[in-house]
Amino acid sequence: MHAFNYHRPSNVNDAAALAAKSVDAKILAGGQSLVQAMKLRLAAPTDIVDLGTIKDLAGIKVDAKSVTIGAMTRHAEVEGSAEVKKAIPALAALAGMIGDRQVRNMGTLGGALANSDPAADYPAAVLGLGATITTTKGTHAADKFFKGLYETALRPGEIITSVSFPIPKRAAYMKFKNQASRFAIVGVFVADTGAGVRVAVTGAGPCALRLAEMEKALSAKFAPESVASLKIKSDGLNADLHASAEYRAHLITVMAKRAVEAAMK
Amino acid sequence: MGAPLIGARIQRKEDYRFLTGAGQYTDDVTLPRQTYAAFVRSPHGHAKIKSINAAKAKAAPGVLAVYTGEDIAAAKLGGLPCGWLITDVNGQPMKEPPHPVLAQGKVHHVGEQVAVVIAETLDQARDAAELVQVDYEVLPAVADVRLARAKGAPQVHGIAPDNTCYVWALGDKAAVDAAFAKAAHVTKLDFVNNRLIPNAIEPRAANGSYSRADDAYTLYVASQNPHVERLLMTAFVMGLPEHKVRVVAGDVGGGFGSKIFLYAEDVVVTWAAKQLNRPVKWTADRSESFTSDAHGRDHHTIAELALDKDGKFLAMRVKTTANVGAYLSTFASCVPTILYATLLAGQYTTPAIHCEVTAVFTNTAPVDAYRGAGRPEATYVVERLVETAAREMKMDPAEIRRKNFIRSFPYQTPVALLYDIGDYDATMDAAQKLGDVAGYPARKKASAAKGKLRGMGYAAYIEACGIAPSAVAGSLGARAGLFEAGEVRVHPTGSVTVFTGSHSHGQGHETTFAQVVADRLGMPIENVDIVHGDTSKILFGMGTYGSRSIAVGGTAIVKALDKIIAKGKKIAAHLLEASEGDIEYANGVFKVTGTDKQKLFGEVAFAAYVPHNYPHDKLEPGLNENAFYDPANFTFPAGTYVCEVEVDPETGVVKVDRWTAVDDFGKIINPMIVEGQVHGGLTQGIGQALTEGAKYDSTGQLVTGSFMDYCIPRADDVPMFQVDTRETPCTHNPLGVKGCGEAGAIGAPAALINAITDALGVKDIAMPATPQNVWRTLNQKKAA
């Protein structure tokens, strides 16, 4: 790891100011991607702005319509939260599928969204549930947040503070894991919101994306057979050693079908 | 004394140390005035080094030195030697390209060491390593074993035309051809035995130091065989006398073969320690391990089995191309030959076998012994052929094996080995019963009802362990002996320290060897300590690999114990005023036969060290004996594995649902440790078949260079294993032991691929059978 300046601000505005000071500054949330990249010397930020001691960034609030989760809330807290499990069980279950226990004890919701790894799990839930992302500069709708590979609508120095997930009628997440990394090769989040169905997939494209054709079919009839024979085009999907674009396209259909089955249980 | 210690499930003595973080691994050793090394490594598979500019690195904070290949050449350091000479089919020696410890003019694989930066701290060394500017001219590369000899393939080494290290053969080709000509059925397979990366949990590490006071070196190193490391490094590379070099391999966190070999970094830190007159430490990070540890397997094989109409094996014909990587690592040459072709008889009476092996150089990391070393490759050939033949001939796969089992021992195979003993029906019967093979049809039906495809596969493996009779090994090209040494030091009050040339890096020798000693001497196991891994303490040792420790190292200890007891009898006879022939020893007591006159072991030991009343005219004082043991033959552990898989045809995911392993390891010292070895071996074998596969691209880049892409199995990838043993004691060592460390890795891949191909209804599937691979195979079957 290269040497860097370390900052530990006590509030989010100071953090944003510190981050804006240097082009090579990086905001540290749970550190499960950034610290690895630094240890491998792939990332060499001049300044690290650690959000770890900013108190009001973590926590879970549930009301009748939504679940709001602070950006610095660890995956393990979401996974284990009785309130989340009751309100949106699919969200708690998704958090429990991220990485391994050590990763879940450190990794955060805000960090995962800001990084927008193409194979991360949380983006599927954010997009699938149509969540609202609150930052130091305002709010972003999920549909306009993920812009591309590791690219989001966040501007320099803008820090996510919380995410609000509308509570759906029913929802489920099905993840097909990369054997080695256990990231999603394909992860499909299906949510029946009451006002239509949303289907979001992670791992398959440069960032999380919605599947309009499936949403239409499931809005007409929320049942596994509505998607079981829907063939997804492989054009533009990710391809790597573990999964070709064709295999990913196939897996999207299988995982979507299984997610609907799980949501109906 | 209580129950016998041999055969007891005793908890591992070493675990308290390991589980409480008190182990002393190489990286834990920090010496006064310690410095740290970082290696600059080739980012290219094949390139000329046009120039190296180290000026900026040398000027960086804390940097003490930067050395390149030029410094190594000027110091006249030799290259790394290969420990086994293979002579080719034309009587010519194998091609041995120079293997410099820092690259000389050219790099031949990604990860090859090009320069070393030594600094006051590790971070300073790593920062400065990034400042070393190497100007490369990138050359075309070849990485795939199947392409190495293709027309126009890039040449890795000038001295090895067609990238060929040797073409070697074993067996009677004419007899094999004749048998094939009259065969009723021929089964043929063409496959790649996938390349694996060992990944011991402790990466390689070395800490070299030099003392001007006595002009002597000490190297702390993560090694499976410190004496061999010292011999190779002093005699072949550095031109130093052995008494001036101490090699210490204390606690070592796993090896699986990859820490047998002498590596460049070990030499560089030792040499640099004298240049700087300060100790130099290097510990690989995981990325370095991936590209610079010796890898395993990587064969392309075309294998054929000839059978008569009743399924009796008539002959086997095997042609293998083995990738040895960019350089010949320490035992690279013998793994795909001596440790492979000789095992092709398996458990069967196949009368004629011929095997031709072509070893090729490629622009990849060197390939050498990895858990099983040659024997998993052989078992895969034999057991895939046998199972496939049974299916093609519509015979039961267990019955075709029984029809061909060797049942009369000793048995001379057509591929050089002489099996001393075995009972293959016993392990097959037990595996079928324990694995409830009779209940398989019902389970297959139940899987089908869930939309899953169930398959079952066998592997009935054999391995040659207890390596090796030195004369035999020497006649086959070994450049070293393969005996083992042991020393038993009885202290004046009767406790015992045992020094062994075997090395424990996970095997639990501190417990099993202590059980043998305590059992033989009739004393509590707490009174026995086992010491290994330090050339200044151990008289000599060939180290641990090839499941040889208990069979060879254990026997050396037993022989030393015999000498202790024999001397003890002489002392006791004197003390008891009896004749030596009347003294018997049992349960820690020397006794005059038929009387109640006796002396305790401790009393005899005390008399030996406080020899007031002692037969000085006939006997030296003290009670300390050593022994060297050179085995008369290999040992032949064997067993049967049965596994069942359930495949999800929608996703291609294979679930290993049931696994039964029945092994014959001869006598067993500690069943709990043996079960642990079997579990670990099976898991590695399942890894090879299901998840692991090292991939280089056509430019020689390692595509699977981290755990993000290279998948070693986790606990949830394997089932709860059902393991059991049957026992035919080895006939030629006093403990009757055979060895158990590699069996699981040897037998598992064939059993698992047999089960998967059964489930899918296909002849073959390449390893690893990843979900995508299974899905594609099913699609191809549908399309066909």
Domains of chain B by residue range: 17-139+201-254+259-292, 296-468+633-783, 483-629
CA distances from B623 to B354, B496, B498 (A): 52, 10, 12
Domain B296-468+633-783 falls in which CATH fold?
Answer: Aldehyde Oxidoreductase; domain 4 (3.30.365)
What ranges make up the beta strands (E) of chain A? 5-7, 25-28, 47-50, 60-62, 66-70, 132-135, 138-141, 146-148, 151-152, 160-166, 170-177, 184-192, 197-202, 209-210
Closest by Cα among B735, B733, B739, B779 to B760: B779
Cβ partners under 8 Å of residue B433, min gap 6: none
Cβ partners under 8 Å of residue B571, min gap 6: B604, B607, B608, B614, B615, B619, B623
Residue B550 CA to residue B501 CA, distance in Å, equals 11
Question: Considering the domain B483-629, what is its CATH architecture?
Answer: 2-Layer Sandwich (3.30)
Residue A189: what residue type? Answer: F
CA–CA min distance B770, chain A (Å): 8
With contact defined as beta carbons under 8 Å apart, do B194 and B765 qualify?
no
Residues B3-13 have a mean pLDDT of 93
What ipTM, to 2 d.p.? 0.96
Q: Give the model confidence (pLDDT) of B595-629 as tens digits.
A: 999 999 999 999 999 999 999 999 999 999 999 99
Q: Select the residue from A179, A185, A186 to test the B interface by mutation, using most B Cβ atoms within 10 A.
A: A179
SS (H, E, C) B626-676: EEEECCCCCECCEEEEEEEEEECCCCCCEEEEEEEEEEECECCCCHHHHHH
Q: Which residues of B touch A (CB under 8 A)?
A: 123, 126-127, 130, 287, 650-651, 691, 695, 703-704, 707-711, 717, 770-772, 775-776
Residue A22 pLDDT > 90? no
Tell me which DSSP letter residue B151 carries.
Answer: T
A265 touches chain B (CB under 8 A): no
Residues A69-89 have a mean pLDDT of 98
Fold match flag (B296-468+633-783 vs B483-629) = yes
Compare all CA atoms of chain A with the CA of B127 and give the residue at the minimum distance. A2
CA distances from B403 to B420, B457, B736 (A): 20, 17, 28
Residues A5-23 have a mean pLDDT of 92
Interface of A with B in 24-43 (CB under 8 A): 40-41
Residue B222 CA to residue B207 CA, distance in Å, equals 9
CA distances from A133 to A33, A110, A125, A163, B428 (A): 20, 9, 12, 5, 62
Residue appearing with tokens 């949501």: A263
Sign of the dihedral defined by the CA atoms of residues A201, A204, A209, A215, in that order: negative
Compare all CA atoms of chain B with the CA of A99 and give the residue at the minimum distance. B708
Domain A169-265 falls in which CATH fold?
Answer: Enolase-like; domain 1 (3.30.390)
pLDDT of residue B2: 59
- DSSP state string for B74-129: HTTPPPPPPSBPPB-TTSPBPP-----SS--SEE-STT-EEEEEEESSHHHHHHHH
Q: Give the model confidence (pLDDT) of A141-173 as tens digits.
A: 999 999 999 999 999 889 999 999 999 999 999
Compare all CA atoms of chain A with the CA of B716 and give the residue at the minimum distance. A179
Tokens representing B243 are: 């008494």
Residue B474 pLDDT > 70? yes
Q: Give the model confidence (pLDDT) of B569-595 as tens digits.
A: 999 999 999 999 999 999 999 999 999
A251 touches chain B (CB under 8 A): yes
Residue A233 CA to residue A211 CA, distance in Å, equals 11
- Domain B17-139+201-254+259-292, CATH homologous superfamily name and number: Aldehyde oxidase/xanthine dehydrogenase, a/b hammerhead (3.90.1170.50)
Average of per-residue pLDDT values in chain B: 97
CA–CA min distance B513, chain A (Å): 37
CA–CA min distance A211, chain B (Å): 20
Residue B200 CA to residue B546 CA, distance in Å, equals 16
Picking from B287, B650, B711, the nearest residue to A180 by CB comes out as B711
pLDDT of residue B1: 47
Q: Select the residue from A237, A241, A246 to test the B interface by mutation, using most B Cβ atoms within 10 A.
A: A241
pLDDT level of residue B7 (50, 70, 90 thresholds): very high
CB contact under 8 Å between B775 and A40, yes or no, is no
pLDDT of residue A194: 80
With contact defined as beta carbons under 8 Å apart, do B637 and B757 qualify?
no
Residue A138 CA to residue A155 CA, distance in Å, equals 11
Residues A110-115 have a mean pLDDT of 97
Examine residue B410 and say whether the peptide bond preceding it is cis (omega within 30 degrees of 0).
yes
Residue B598 CA to residue B590 CA, distance in Å, equals 5
Residue B624 bridge partners (DSSP)? B489
Q: Give the model confidence (pLDDT) of B34-73 as tens digits.
A: 999 999 999 999 999 999 999 999 999 999 999 999 999 9
Residue B330 pLDDT > 50? yes
Strand pairing report for B583-586 and A146-148: unpaired
CA–CA min distance A91, chain B (Å): 23
B691: chain A residues, CB-CB within 8 Å:
179-180
Picking from A1, A40, A180, the nearest residue to B709 by CB comes out as A180
| Residues in chain A, total | 265
Compare all CA atoms of chain B with the CA of A40 and give the residue at the minimum distance. B287
Picking from B127, B650, B708, the nearest residue to A181 by CB comes out as B708
pLDDT of residue A195: 82
pLDDT level of residue B348 (50, 70, 90 thresholds): very high
Q: Give the model confidence (pLDDT) of B250-280 as tens digits.
A: 999 999 999 999 999 999 999 999 999 999 9
Strand pairing report for B411-412 and B418-419: antiparallel
Residue A25 CA to residue A46 CA, distance in Å, equals 6
CB contact under 8 Å between A179 and B711, yes or no, is yes
Q: Give the model confidence (pLDDT) of B722-751 as tens digits.
A: 999 999 999 999 999 999 999 999 999 999
A242 touches chain B (CB under 8 A): yes
Compare all CA atoms of chain A with the CA of B288 and give the residue at the minimum distance. A40
With contact defined as beta carbons under 8 Å apart, do B664 and B521 qualify?
no
CB contact under 8 Å between B707 and A181, yes or no, is yes
B736: phi > 0 → left, psi -120 to 50 → alpha, else beta; which? left
A41: chain B residues, CB-CB within 8 Å:
126, 130
With contact defined as beta carbons under 8 Å apart, do B517 and B496 qualify?
yes
CB contact under 8 Å between B771 and A2, yes or no, is no
Cα angle B46, B50, B52; round to 5: 105
Residue A145 CA to residue B137 CA, distance in Å, equals 44
Tokens representing B577 are: 């005023």
CB contact under 8 Å between B776 and A241, yes or no, is no
CB contact under 8 Å between A241 and B695, yes or no, is yes
Residues B8-24 have a mean pLDDT of 96
Residue B414 pLDDT > 60? yes
Residues B390-417 have a mean pLDDT of 98
Sign of the dihedral defined by the CA atoms of residues B118, B120, B125, B131, in that order: negative
A228: chain B residues, CB-CB within 8 Å:
none
Q: What are phi and psi of B782, to 5 degrees?
A: -60, -40
pLDDT of residue B695: 98
Residue A244 pLDDT > 50? yes
Percentage of residues in chain A having pLDDT higher than 70 = 100
CB contact under 8 Å between B707 and A3, yes or no, is no
**Kind and range of the H or E run holding B168:** strand B164-171
pLDDT of residue A157: 86
Query: Where does A5-50 sit in CATH, by number?
Result: 3.30.43.10
Tell me which DSSP letter residue B18 carries.
Answer: H
Domain boundaries, chain A: 5-50, 169-265
Percentage of residues in chain B having pLDDT higher than 90 = 99
Q: Give the model confidence (pLDDT) of A210-230 as tens digits.
A: 999 999 999 999 999 999 999
With contact defined as beta carbons under 8 Å apart, do A208 and A124 qualify?
yes
B126: chain A residues, CB-CB within 8 Å:
41
A2: chain B residues, CB-CB within 8 Å:
127
CA distances from B740 to B170, B464, B502, B531 (A): 27, 11, 15, 21
Residues B95-107 have a mean pLDDT of 98
B695: chain A residues, CB-CB within 8 Å:
241
